[in-house]
Chains A and B, each alone.
Chain A
Amino acid sequence: MSATTWAWLVLLFPLLGSVLIGVGFKVIPARAAGILGTASIGLAFACGVAMLLNLLGQEPDARHHASSLWDYASVAGLDVKLGVYVDQLSTFMVLVVTGVSTLIHLYSFGYMRSDEGYHRFFSYLNFFVFSMLLLVLAGNFVLLIVGWAFVGFASYALISFWYRRTTATRAGMKAFVINVVGDIGLVLAAFLIFRELGSFDYGAVFAKAPEVFSTNEWTITAICLLLLVGAFAKSAQLPLHTWLPDAMEGPTPVSSLIHAATMVTAGVYLIARTHVLFVLAPTAADIAAFTGLATLLVAATIALVMTDLKRAIAYSTMSQIGYMVVGVSIGAYGAGMFHLMTHAFFKALLFMAAGSIIAAMGNEQNIDRMSGFARAMRFTSITMLCGGLALAAFPLTSGFFSKDEILAYAGARGGMYPIFTVLGYVGAFLTAIYTFRLIFRVLPGEPCPEARELIETGHPHHAHPFNPASGEQEDTDVGFPGAEHHIAEQSLPMRIAMAVLAFGALFGGLVQVPGVDNVIANFLDPVFADSPLAAIHPSTSWSWIGLGIGAIVSLAGIGVAHRLYVARPDIPARLQERFAAVHTFLFDKWYFDEAIDFLVVRPALAIGRFANRVFERVVVDGLAIGTEDVVGGGGRLVRIVQSGFVRGYALLLLVGFAGLALYFLLSSS
């Protein structure tokens, strides 16, 4: 079979799984739904591997294929096909998405077992994977937008999965609205592309763009900036990032899948996919890179003070995606995609470990109340440590190689770009501190009551049905979290998923070691061959120097975290007291929510109120009520004649005829 046939199969299985589980939820037993959901993604992964093998059997330059099933719209110069585009980049994304998703489905199979909405969960989860695959496999901008919007909806459905929890539904709406802002950017970009180039097809657009546009022409810059609006909203970059931390209201596997491993990387994929356009608009690319840099620093500082376990990891996700955006924007495409892959491993793993700990805490997410889980949950602790080490870029773990590759490239590009290297290392330092802040707060020390309960009774703390965000009392019925979640120690599927990811987090970086091997970048190279930036390569010796600096920075960060949170736990409190203003500023997340509220929400509300008061009341109501008055008045006049008095009618008739007769008599004489 050809590569595109495998691609269609990759799309088919998750869709089939979603529809089957969604339609047959009454007949399919819960366990079977979980197996079905996991198997469909597993099959998609297998097809992805087959696609990869198929591509590997061809010449590197011939590894791109387009295939279409039927015409979407074919009218007036518009030619949109339901088509997929298979090349190294989409194959890579398919493998990352399906691979990590399979493991997360496996994890959910155990974790969500007591939830009442088990079928719904797997149906949504499969639909999400289908949308994401549609997004990465789409062969034209129209299908890309379709996948893009589907992903937004799936994210909304999964964040609001516990739909009777008010905080969850609000978070879902927030995510959806901000994502729609991004969708609008993407749609406008597609319009502009079609206006200038006359096609939506990737192949045609990327072939024609260099001929039509001159570098930094305003149209291409506008197109790229609009694409960036879409990318930033999906990938939670400043200032459209506020939905991501709130999205932690969803079940933990969702956080792991959507908000760490796959969906939020869609923006990175978009920039990499349209790199031809960004090469033509270096200004837009620089804006993207600086936004990524700002995001990675801002998010890292916020993660330093967050006390909510999942939210802290969410800010870390934003920060890591900042690295990827920097990478693909400045031209380190292979490195950016490599970081995307390693990040998917260790961040999914961290969320899984966090989910396990939160389950043991009875849904409590505040790290101030956690400690001593190293003794209570050995497996979870070890995997969390693996994920943490990779995130903190501990030497020889996956994050170590992927992050430094981006920074080394920035250094090699010269010009103003070494600033990314320097600030990137600052970000890496902060990353190491906040990662190990979480780990040192949660794992070592005296076991907290919940951890002791687990050690003594062997059963996780029973969840009190309340909302950790608002403290409200809740049911454990449908639409709320189930009675309790399962911990990795007591669920084999969860352990398998976490073990595989831990392996990836620790050793995933070895596929791309400077001077030794370069598997992923070599595989992806032909996709980016047309970019002049792809020719820049940091020398091996510089890469190793960069790795050395990275190792020092990472170890220093871990050392600082150890000193602050293990050796001298009184220092953070004193720092917090001394720099109360800074702490409040960071703890309130740089007031981005408030700023958006002030700059966008309130003016919009004011305009709405003004329109309601002036336009609606005066103009619209005036027109409507005026018309009604005129018609009603006329009716009232005519009603006087309609007395229902038969003899009156007869009189009118007679008088009328007499009048007519008189008139004719007079006029004829």
Chain B
Amino acid sequence: MNIEWYVVLSSLLFAVGAMGILLRRSPIVILLCLELMLNAGNLALVAFSKMVGNQQGQVFALVVMVVAACEVVVGLGLIVAIFRRRLPLNVDSLRELRG
């Protein structure tokens, strides 16, 4: 199989994730889209690894998964905290950091 297909699929996935982050308002969906973007990156890494013929890219993919897991833990923790305080689960209305 040709490498282009993998790269195109990865780009599509990344673009879908990015659009999801920009357009959706629910923090859970945003978190999922973030995962999507990370996995798009993983797919590209593994594909390039296969093409070049060594294992470095696959190791990178593993590291990215660990980072993604950590990020999900933090993100879900935040969401639970927001939910407990009965705040709206809507990133547009959480604007306390406005300068």
Residues of chain B within 8 A of A642, CB atoms compared: 97-99
A106-114, A236-244, A442-450, A646-654: which lies at the B interface? A646-654
Known: A645-B92, A647-B92. A639 touches B99 (CB 8 A): yes
Residues B97 and A644 in contact, CB atoms below 8 Å apart = yes
How far, in Å, is B22 (CB) from chain A's closest CB?
Answer: 6
CB of B94 within 8 Å of the partner chain: yes
How far, in Å, is B12 (CB) from chain A's closest CB?
Answer: 16
Interface residues of A in 430-448 (CB under 8 A from B): none
- The complex places the Cα of A644 from the Cα of B23 at a distance, in Å, of 16
Among B22, B94, B98, B99, contact of A650 (Cβ-Cβ < 8 Å) = B22
CB of B7 within 8 Å of the partner chain: no
Known: A650-B22, A651-B22. A643 touches B98 (CB 8 A): yes
In this complex, which of B18, B25, B94 has the most chain A Cβ atoms within 10 angstroms of its Cβ?
B18
Residues of chain A within 8 A of B92, CB atoms compared: 645-647
Residues B95 and A643 in contact, CB atoms below 8 Å apart = yes
- The complex places the Cα of A201 from the Cα of B97 at a distance, in Å, of 69
- The complex places the Cα of A651 from the Cα of B18 at a distance, in Å, of 9
In this complex, which of A638, A643, A646, A651 has the most chain B Cβ atoms within 10 angstroms of its Cβ?
A646
CB of B4 within 8 Å of the partner chain: no
- The complex places the Cα of A643 from the Cα of B93 at a distance, in Å, of 12
> Range of interface residues on chain B?
10 to 19
Residues A644 and B91 in contact, CB atoms below 8 Å apart = no
Could you give, for residues 383-395 of chain A, a 1 whenever the CB lies within 8 Å of some chain B CB and a 0 otherwise?
Answer: 0000000000000
Tell me if B's interface is mostly helix, strand, loop or mixed.
Answer: loop
Residues A650 and B97 in contact, CB atoms below 8 Å apart = no
How far, in Å, is A647 (CB) from chain B's closest CB?
Answer: 6
Tell me if A's interface is mostly helix, strand, loop or mixed.
Answer: helix
Residues of chain B within 8 A of A638, CB atoms compared: 99
Residues B22 and A654 in contact, CB atoms below 8 Å apart = yes
Interface residues of B in 59-99 (CB under 8 A from A): 91-92, 94-99
Residues A644 and B95 in contact, CB atoms below 8 Å apart = yes
What residue of chain A has the Cβ atom nearest to residue B37's Cβ?
A: A654
CB of B21 within 8 Å of the partner chain: yes
Among A644, A647, A650, A651, contact of B96 (Cβ-Cβ < 8 Å) = A644
- The complex places the Cα of A293 from the Cα of B61 at a distance, in Å, of 105
How far, in Å, is B23 (CB) from chain A's closest CB?
Answer: 8
- The complex places the Cα of A639 from the Cα of B97 at a distance, in Å, of 11
How far, in Å, is B89 (CB) from chain A's closest CB?
Answer: 13
Interface residues of A in 577-606 (CB under 8 A from B): none
- The complex places the Cα of A647 from the Cα of B97 at a distance, in Å, of 13
Residues A645 and B95 in contact, CB atoms below 8 Å apart = yes
Residues of chain B within 8 A of A650, CB atoms compared: 21-22
Residues B99 and A644 in contact, CB atoms below 8 Å apart = yes
- The complex places the Cα of A639 from the Cα of B99 at a distance, in Å, of 5
For the A-B complex, the count of residue pairs with Cβ-Cβ distances under 8 Å equals 31
Interface residues of A in 604-659 (CB under 8 A from B): 638-639, 641-647, 650-651, 654
How far, in Å, is B4 (CB) from chain A's closest CB?
Answer: 17
What residue of chain B has the Cβ atom nearest to residue A647's Cβ?
A: B22
> Range of interface residues on chain A?
10 to 19
- The complex places the Cα of A654 from the Cα of B21 at a distance, in Å, of 10
Residues B98 and A647 in contact, CB atoms below 8 Å apart = no
- The complex places the Cα of A400 from the Cα of B3 at a distance, in Å, of 128
- The complex places the Cα of A216 from the Cα of B81 at a distance, in Å, of 91
Residues of chain A within 8 A of B21, CB atoms compared: 647, 650
How far, in Å, is B34 (CB) from chain A's closest CB?
Answer: 10
Could you give, for residues 9-26 of chain B, a 1 whenever the CB lies within 8 Å of some chain A CB and a 0 otherwise?
Answer: 000000000100111010
- The complex places the Cα of A646 from the Cα of B23 at a distance, in Å, of 11
Residues A644 and B22 in contact, CB atoms below 8 Å apart = no
Residues of chain B within 8 A of A644, CB atoms compared: 95-99
How far, in Å, is A632 (CB) from chain B's closest CB?
Answer: 13
- The complex places the Cα of A5 from the Cα of B24 at a distance, in Å, of 94
- The complex places the Cα of A645 from the Cα of B21 at a distance, in Å, of 12
- The complex places the Cα of A646 from the Cα of B18 at a distance, in Å, of 13
Residues A654 and B95 in contact, CB atoms below 8 Å apart = no
How far, in Å, is A496 (CB) from chain B's closest CB?
Answer: 82
What residue of chain B has the Cβ atom nearest to residue A650's Cβ?
A: B21
- The complex places the Cα of A647 from the Cα of B33 at a distance, in Å, of 13
How far, in Å, is B24 (CB) from chain A's closest CB?
Answer: 9
Residues B91 and A647 in contact, CB atoms below 8 Å apart = yes
Residues of chain A within 8 A of B25, CB atoms compared: 647
Could you give, for residues 139-166 of chain A, a 1 whenever the CB lies within 8 Å of some chain B CB and a 0 otherwise?
Answer: 0000000000000000000000000000
Known: A646-B91, A647-B91, A647-B92. A654 touches B98 (CB 8 A): no
Residues of chain A within 8 A of B91, CB atoms compared: 646-647
- The complex places the Cα of A646 from the Cα of B22 at a distance, in Å, of 9
Residues of chain B within 8 A of A654, CB atoms compared: 18, 22
Residues of chain A within 8 A of B94, CB atoms compared: 646
- The complex places the Cα of A650 from the Cα of B97 at a distance, in Å, of 14
Residues of chain A within 8 A of B99, CB atoms compared: 638-639, 641-644
How far, in Å, is B82 (CB) from chain A's closest CB?
Answer: 12
Residues of chain B within 8 A of A646, CB atoms compared: 91-92, 94
Interface residues of B in 21-43 (CB under 8 A from A): 21-23, 25
- The complex places the Cα of A72 from the Cα of B23 at a distance, in Å, of 78
Residues of chain A within 8 A of B23, CB atoms compared: 647
How far, in Å, is A307 (CB) from chain B's closest CB?
Answer: 75
- The complex places the Cα of A651 from the Cα of B94 at a distance, in Å, of 17
How far, in Å, is A45 (CB) from chain B's closest CB?
Answer: 77
- The complex places the Cα of A647 from the Cα of B18 at a distance, in Å, of 10
Residues of chain B within 8 A of A641, CB atoms compared: 99
Residue pairs across A and B with Cβ atoms less than 8 A apart, 22 shown, are A639-B99, A641-B99, A642-B97, A642-B99, A643-B95, A643-B98, A644-B96, A644-B97, A644-B99, A645-B92, A645-B95, A646-B91, A646-B92, A647-B21, A647-B23, A647-B25, A647-B91, A647-B92, A650-B21, A650-B22, A654-B18, A654-B22
What are the 9 tightest A-B residue pairs by CB atom distance, in nearest-first order? A642-B99, A644-B98, A644-B95, A639-B99, A646-B91, A644-B97, A650-B21, A651-B22, A647-B22
Interface contacts beyond A643-B99, A650-B21: sample of 17 additional A-B pairs, CB < 8 Å, sorted by A: A638-B99, A639-B99, A642-B97, A642-B98, A643-B95, A643-B98, A644-B95, A644-B97, A644-B98, A644-B99, A645-B95, A646-B92, A646-B94, A647-B22, A647-B91, A647-B92, A650-B22
